């Protein structure tokens, strides 16, 4: 989950490294550090700071480290082992400050390794798991050259890692290694940039090579070589990043989250463009063309995802079963492997992940593949690990999502689930008329979203009204039960208040005990097949003095008689209401956090891409 940068080339490594690191700050922002070869002294130099990358930048500027190095490694941390201190900030060094390492991941056997190294005389300066790595390399370098010493050290590690490594004894070499933690090499003109995410290199190059698990890259200013277990370099495909540098900027918005909420109509248009054939009531998904026959024979769809992507999968479960007539089961990917899933002939696993690097979701993919189950992916990042390891898949094409709390990725994933439902449904018993209706309504969603976004000021006023409340329920049924969970998740992430999402039918089974004047309920109550039941739930809340904020269909007067505050969404097909209902909940959470003076783009304790279990 940490951000890693390594630079080697003709430019100033410090200035390039800091610039790239700022683009990765959403991956971790507890502390930051740098280590680089100082050509003035012929020695390694380093700096660390608690807090954001700006604090590190100030230290480096104060130290006069401009234009002193063509080689450096940089890191912004999301703490796992050890508290948030300068001593625990990366990069970490060996006893002699010769070998330096920046690391993303978790070394599971670090305690045993540390005890062995300490008994051999190594001195540790941090409480991190990472520090064992440079000491292991130091120990191996007593008999081996740097590259071989790195390989020998990595063989002793158990866990996950994305690593960039340098040594003052080889100031023209940068080494990168990956095991279950994303890492890529940006190929520029007379320079290479190693990073844990493509957004870091966008300003410098759109050409990248993605490392696979177990690979090591040895990089000099002139070339890069990638190795597997053997000593022969591997040929690696060079991918082109489809995002522009401008897409990774705020573009005049106060926050990335605000920008990404506003981008949702265009995001949905990009996700469905060229994939809908309304006149035939069909969806055409090019990424699934090679597995069309397999999908036609599929008997069950298993969906694995985490966080917001998991909730998009829950929406897809309803769609697939109601309209495609195919059984679907949704698992939290973090539990998938550990519950020993029972696979059957005809199963297909669908993994959903914005980054395509979510560790638990990737583990679910690998578990399914190990058992011979076909795998599909819905991801946003081209060339990501899940995109490469699944048998087929669908790209979201929504541009980078920088805000830690997912917004446009969620609605895009739900839209793609609708496309998949249309594809599978028309392969089965879905009629032309139903297919045409779904396709036509899905094409209208971007314009309907723009209508919802036009109520931003009204939603902001409601957020202001309730801004001193500390507890919320979010309630919905059927398609909008996952949206209720997502609304509660957004408010928790952004404002740190207590919010619980529930299926409204569960209210009487315990949770209603909490309802009272200081416990508002946000009720998602469009005019759909469970409308009357939602009204009954709202009456129960009202009878107990609980304030009600309703997300309702335009023109609904009955809801206004019960709710204290109402936000409206346009009428659409029941299965597509989640795409509209999610938007005001995102705006509500955003405004709530802003009014509390919080950094909504970088919520405390969170990181954008969860690349460790």
The catalytic residues are 2, 608
Q: How far is 238 from 210, CA to CA, in rounded Å?
A: 8
The Cα-based distances of 143 to 137, 140, 147, 217, 529 in angstroms read: 11, 6, 12, 21, 72
Q: Helices (H) and strands (E) in the chain — how many of each?
A: 19, 26
Tell me which residue has tokens 């009954």: 536
Instruction: Measure the CA angle with vertex 259, ends 396 and 443; round to 5°.
Output: 45
At 347, is the secondary structure helix, strand, or coil?
A: strand
Comparing CA positions, the residue from 186, 159, 253, 224 lying closest to residue 20 is: 186
At 250, is the secondary structure helix, strand, or coil?
A: coil
| Tokens of residue 105, six digits | 């991941």
At 516, is the secondary structure helix, strand, or coil?
A: strand
Is the separation of the CB atoms in 246 and 256 below 8 Å? Answer: no
| Tokens of residue 107, six digits | 């070394």
- Other C-beta atoms closer than 10 Å to the C-beta of 299 total 11
- Parallel, antiparallel, or unpaired for β 174-179 and 184-188? unpaired
Query: Residue 87 has what DSSP assignment?
Result: T
Estimate the share of the chain in helix, then strand, then coil, as percent rounded to the nearest 5. 40, 25, 35
At 25, is the secondary structure helix, strand, or coil?
A: helix
Beta strands (DSSP E) in 365-497 are 375-379, 392-395, 471-476
Q: How far is 247 from 263, CA to CA, in rounded Å?
A: 11
- Other C-beta atoms closer than 10 Å to the C-beta of 442 total 26
At 337, is the secondary structure helix, strand, or coil?
A: helix
| Tokens of residue 531, six digits | 């409308």
Instruction: Measure the CA angle with vertex 254, ends 249 and 259; round to 5°.
Output: 55
At 35, is the secondary structure helix, strand, or coil?
A: strand
Comparing CA positions, the residue from 498, 503, 476, 505 lying closest to residue 581 is: 476
Is the separation of the CB atoms in 521 and 476 below 8 Å? Answer: no
Query: Residue 383 has what DSSP assignment?
Result: T
């Amino acid at each position: 989950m940490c951000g890693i940068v390594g630079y080697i080339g003709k430019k100033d490594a410090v200035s390039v490294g800091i610039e790239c690191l700022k683009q990765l700050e959403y991956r971790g922002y507890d502390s930051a550090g740098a280590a680089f070869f100082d050509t003035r002294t012929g020695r390694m130099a380093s700096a660390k700071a608690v807090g954001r990358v700006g604090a590190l930048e100030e230290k480096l500027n104060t130290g006069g480290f401009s234009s002193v190095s063509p080689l450096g490694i940089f890191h912004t941390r999301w703490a796992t082992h050890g508290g948030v201190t300068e001593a625990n900030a990366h990069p970490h060094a060996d006893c002699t400050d010769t070998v330096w390492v920046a690391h993303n991941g978790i070394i599971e056997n670090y305690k045993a390794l540390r005890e062995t190294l300490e008994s051999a005389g190594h001195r540790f300066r941090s409480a991190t798991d990472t520090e064992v790595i440079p000491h292991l390399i130091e120990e191996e370098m007593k008999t081996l050259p740097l590259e071989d010493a790195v390989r020998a050290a990595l063989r002793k590690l158990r866990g996950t890692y994305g690593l960039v490594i340098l040594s003052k004894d080889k100031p023209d070499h940068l080494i990168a290694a990956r095991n279950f933690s994303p890492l890529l090499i940006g190929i520029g003109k007379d320079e290479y940039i190693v990073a844990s995410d493509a957004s870091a290199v966008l300003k410098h190059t759109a050409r990248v090579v993605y490392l696979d698990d177990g690979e090591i890259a040895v990089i000099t200013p002139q070339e890069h070589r990638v190795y597997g277990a053997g000593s022969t370099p591997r040929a690696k495909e060079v991918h082109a990043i489809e995002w522009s540098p401008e897409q990774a900027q705020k573009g005049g918005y106060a926050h990335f989250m605000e920008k990404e909420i506003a981008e949702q109509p265009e995001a949905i248009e990009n996700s469905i463009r060229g994939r809908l054939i309304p006149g035939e009531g069909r969806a055409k998904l090019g990424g699934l063309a090679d597995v069309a026959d397999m999908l036609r024979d599929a008997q069950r769809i298993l969906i694995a995802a985490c966080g917001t992507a998991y909730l998009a999968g829950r929406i897809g479960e309803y769609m697939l079963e109601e309209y495609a007539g195919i059984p679907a089961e949704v698992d939290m990917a973090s539990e998938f492997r550990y519950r020993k899933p029972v696979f059957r002939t005809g199963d297909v696993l669908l993994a959903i992940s914005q980054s395509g690097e979510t560790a638990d979701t990737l583990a679910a993919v690998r578990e399914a593949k190990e058992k011979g189950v076909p795998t599909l992916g819905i991801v946003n990042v081209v060339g990501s690990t899940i995109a490469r390891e699944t048998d087929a898949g669908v790209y979201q094409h929504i541009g980078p999502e920088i805000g830690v709390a997912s917004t446009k990725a969620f609605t895009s994933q739900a839209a793609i689930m609708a496309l998949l439902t249309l594809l599978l449904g028309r392969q089965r018993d879905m009629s032309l008329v139903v297919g045409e209706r779904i396709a036509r309504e899905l094409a209208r969603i971007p314009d309907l979203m723009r209508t919802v976004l036009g109520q931003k000021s009204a939603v902001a006023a409601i957020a202001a009204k309730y801004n001193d409340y500390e507890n919320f329920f979010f309630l919905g049924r059927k398609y909008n039960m996952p949206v209720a969970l997502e609304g509660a998740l957004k408010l928790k992430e952004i404002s740190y208040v207590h919010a619980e999402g529930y299926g409204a039918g569960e209210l009487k089974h315990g949770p209603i005990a909490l309802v009272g004047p200081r416990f508002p309920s946000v009720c998602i109550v469009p005019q759909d097949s469970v409308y009357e039941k939602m009204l009954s739930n709202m009456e129960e809340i009202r009878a107990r003095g609980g304030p009600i904020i309703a997300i309702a269909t335009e023109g609904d007067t009955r809801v206004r008689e019960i709710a204290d505050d109402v936000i409206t969404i346009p009428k659409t097909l029941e299965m597509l209401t989640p795409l509209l209902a999610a938007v005001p909940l995102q705006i509500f959470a955003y405004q709530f956090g802003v009014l509390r003076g919080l950094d909504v783009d970088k919520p405390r304790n969170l990181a954008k891409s969860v690349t460790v279990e």
